[in-house]
Amino acid sequence: MRLGEYDIAVIGGGHAGCEAALAAARLGMKTVMFSISLDAIGNLPCNPSIGGTAKGHLVREVDALGGEMGKAADAAFIQSKMLNRGKGPAVHSLRAQMDRKKYHAEMKKRLEYQSNLYVKQAEIVDILTDENGVSGVVTHTGAEYGAKAVICASGTYLRGKILIGDYSRESGPDGMFPANELSENLKRLGIELKRFKTGTPARIHADSLDYRKMEIEKGDEKIVPFSFETEATGENLVSCYLVYTNEKTHQIIHENLHRSAMYSGLVEGVGPRYCPSIEDKVVRFANKERHQLFMEPMGLDTKEMYAQGFSTSLPEDVQLAMYRSVEGLENAEIMRSAYAIEYDCCDPTQLDATLEFKSLKGLYGAGQFNGTSGYEEAAAQGLVAGINAALKLKGEEPLILKRSDGYIGTLIDDLITKGTNEPYRMMTSRSEYRLLLRQDNADERLTPFGYRVGLISEERYKNFLKKQDMIEQEIQRVTSVVVPPKTANPILEKYNSTPVKTGIFLSDMLKRPELDYEKLADADPNRPQLPDAVTEHVEIKLKYDGYIKRQIAEAEKFKKMEARLLPENQDYSDIHGLRLEARQKLNKIQPKSLGQASRISGVSPADVSVLVVWLESQSK
């Protein structure tokens, strides 16, 4: 039975699915989004937080392109904190604790109110195809929906399996139904799948904790929003708490390792190296006497506390003993047990930079289905997949972000070029352009892209241009204002900065690491009233001017490599001089450019040199 015809069908209502569906609908596509449960839309099944190191950058970039995660997070946060303030601006990352239920409600409402978007509760069991590529989807009840493009954002639902000790059952996260049939149908369509694993800690009743024995972690006094459009920032409503494991905790874990699903052989999937279970931490870092854990509220109207850093697949009796061995958790009452979850995902090297499958036109992948971990990585991919599916149907140029454009570009390039053997997590160290890809300038880098594709409104774009104009005017102003020694030296001496004998430009004072706008107020009485985002941007540009110019020059070199295009569907076995491994990898991935080829694992600099010579011979 055919129940409707749509331009784009989105499989999954998690963070990738939400962004994909909203983007496609806003770009004029008649879009249908399927979720196994409408109560799982925008769910935070693991950590009830958005952002964090590098992840905060991704949320800012999603917002700069016209996505929704940042706005929903600003509406639902209960504690906000800027991480890494003691380090350079490249790694400053916003992180906010969410009210889990409110975030779900916010995102569900935004989907329901969006024109062109139809939200349905159903499990997709098959993807239909014809001679042109995908043609629709089939639900578990046999209903068919026609679609010209399909975005698979299935999260951890594909053949999902929950593991606690020696107990296991087929399940999605949070006890939801798994999606068991779609995996086999994807394989039938020629999609290569992998098996990954992730996990989540227990939830503990707040009244069973002894907060007197914990270190309190408060939010920032000055709230910085995720979205560049958010004006009313709200306030911190809760605190988090820091505790530590100890020798007794580690002893309990060691004595019961054989009962962990991870170590008993029950787990098939590969887990995230950068977010290991507590038993994995204790084994891998045996010399560490303790590991830090955070007790984080799940919301304002619940007593559930999330035990960050304490994920495990140990049996429930061991979990209880382990948690209660921690100071402050002696009387802990577990409300939801910790568990590991296995699921199917695709090999992302099968995807183009648009996130469309090379072998099946019209099918796109996004989120954990592409082998990533994290809400933020998922949202970024969902947004790009939704945009590109819509642009393709409209006959317009795709959105392909370079590594130098943003962390989203780095994320996608890593996935499609290098692939991943474990759940991929974004980190600032993954980018060679960290100083260019700061969270404060995400709008400067990506809002023009969002405007070009049609997700940034005229009003927002005008406000963006106004902000950029203010930044340029302020840079010109501070580079022309001279502060005399009698005014400058008292300030310089106050902050242990070298005094001057002649006048000094205000810009040169701002470049000094020990000084900032606030400290120079007395030296700059005519300073205009500017938004904090503007002065922050100006200060960073001045302080790191040399480094920024150097990275821009490196990015320009990178663009030249990316501009040297390789032929489509090239058989690299025919190119003399390439090593066997390089030929195999190049044939599998079919890189678009010399730059992409150089980043493929197994393609050496010598192989790249062979490609350069071969390209030159072809051009002649």
Instruction: Please write the tens of the pLDDT for every residue from 135-181.
Output: 999 999 999 999 999 999 999 999 999 999 999 999 999 889 999 99
Q: What is the pLDDT of residue 233?
A: 86
Categorize the per-residue pLDDT at 602 as very low, low, confident or very high, splitting at 50, 70 and 90. Answer: confident
For range 278-289, the mean pLDDT: 87
Q: What is the pLDDT of residue 266?
A: 67
Beta strands per DSSP E along 467-599: 482-483, 504-505
| Integer Cα distance of 528 and 3 in angstroms | 60
Q: Is the dihedral of CA 11, 15, 21, 24 positive or negative?
A: negative
Angle 507-513-517 (CA atoms, 0-180°, nearest 5)? 50
Beta strands per DSSP E along 153-214: 161-164, 167-170, 193-200, 203-205
Cβ distance 544 to 538 under 8 Å? Answer: no
pLDDT > 70? residue 267: no
Q: Output the six-digit token pair for 488.
A: 């400058």
CA distances (Å), 221 to each of 218, 233, 236, 519, 536, in order? 9, 11, 8, 19, 17
Kindly give the pairing relationship between strand 363-365 and strand 144-152: parallel
Q: Output the six-digit token pair for 609.
A: 């040199």
> Which of left, alpha, beta for 361 (phi over 0: left; psi -120 to 50: alpha)?
beta
Categorize the per-residue pLDDT at 273 as very low, low, confident or very high, splitting at 50, 70 and 90. Answer: low
Q: Output the six-digit token pair for 172.
A: 């999605």
| Integer Cα distance of 54 and 112 in angstroms | 30
Neighbours of 374 (CB within 10 A): 26
Query: Comparing 183-192, 320-329, 587-596, which segment has the lowest mean pLDDT?
Result: 587-596
| Integer Cα distance of 506 and 515 in angstroms | 11
pTM beyond 0.75: yes
pLDDT > 80? residue 268: no
Q: Is the dihedral of CA 6, 12, 16, 18 positive or negative?
A: positive
For range 40-65, the mean pLDDT: 96
Instruction: Output the furthest CA–CA distance in the chain (Å, rounded).
Output: 85
Give the alpha-carbon dihedral of 397, 403, 406, 408, to 10 degrees. 70
pLDDT in tens, 480-499: 999 999 999 999 999 999 99
For range 30-49, the mean pLDDT: 96
pLDDT in tens, 378-404: 999 999 999 999 999 999 999 999 999
CA distances (Å), 17 to each of 34, 208, 393, 592, in order? 9, 37, 18, 27
Categorize the per-residue pLDDT at 274 as very low, low, confident or very high, splitting at 50, 70 and 90. Answer: low
| Integer Cα distance of 47 and 581 in angstroms | 40
Residue linked to tokens 């810009």: 507
Cβ distance 593 to 565 under 8 Å? Answer: yes
Coil, helix or strand at residue 312: coil
Query: Comparing 172-186, 246-260, 267-281, which segment has the lowest mean pLDDT?
Result: 267-281
Strand partners, 169: 162
Q: Output the six-digit token pair for 450.
A: 């969002």
pLDDT in tens, 350-374: 999 999 999 999 999 999 999 999 9
The values of phi and psi at residue 387, to 5°, are: -60, -50
3-state secondary structure 539-554: HHHHHCHHHHHHHHHH
Percent of residues, the chain, with pLDDT higher than 90: 80
pLDDT in tens, 397-446: 999 999 999 999 999 999 999 999 999 999 999 999 999 999 999 999 99
Q: What is the pLDDT of residue 284?
A: 85
What letter does residue 303 receive in the DSSP assignment? -
pLDDT > 80? residue 269: no
| Integer Cα distance of 154 and 545 in angstroms | 43
Q: What is the pLDDT of residue 283?
A: 86
Domains and CATH numbers, the chain: 2-197+343-453 (3.50.50.60), 203-341 (2.40.30.260), 458-548 (1.10.10.1800), 564-619 (1.10.150.570)
212-215, long-range: CB within 8 Å, 24+ apart, which pairs? 212/328, 213/243, 213/327, 213/328, 214/241, 214/242, 214/243, 214/295, 214/328, 215/241, 215/242, 215/243
pLDDT in tens, 547-565: 898 998 888 888 888 888 8
Angle 124-129-134 (CA atoms, 0-180°, nearest 5)? 80
Distance of CA 355 to the CA centre of its chain: 15
pLDDT > 80? residue 620: no
The values of phi and psi at residue 304, to 5°, are: -70, 135
Q: Output the six-digit token pair for 361.
A: 């036109």
Kindly give the pairing relationship between strand 334-336 and strand 304-308: unpaired
Cβ distance 71 to 62 under 8 Å? Answer: no
For range 570-578, the mean pLDDT: 89
Q: What is the CA radius of gyration of the chain?
A: 26
For range 450-472, the mean pLDDT: 97
Those residues whose C-beta lies under 8 Å from the C-beta of residue 438, and which sit 6 or more positions away, are 57, 89, 90, 92, 540
Coil, helix or strand at residue 562: helix
Q: What is the pLDDT of residue 343?
A: 96
Q: Which residue has the higher pLDDT, 260 or 491?
A: 491
| Integer Cα distance of 387 and 354 in angstroms | 9
CA distances (Å), 284 to each of 281, 309, 415, in order? 5, 15, 26
Identity at 206, one-letter amino acid code: A
Residues belonging to the chain: 620
Categorize the per-residue pLDDT at 530 as very low, low, confident or very high, splitting at 50, 70 and 90. Answer: very high
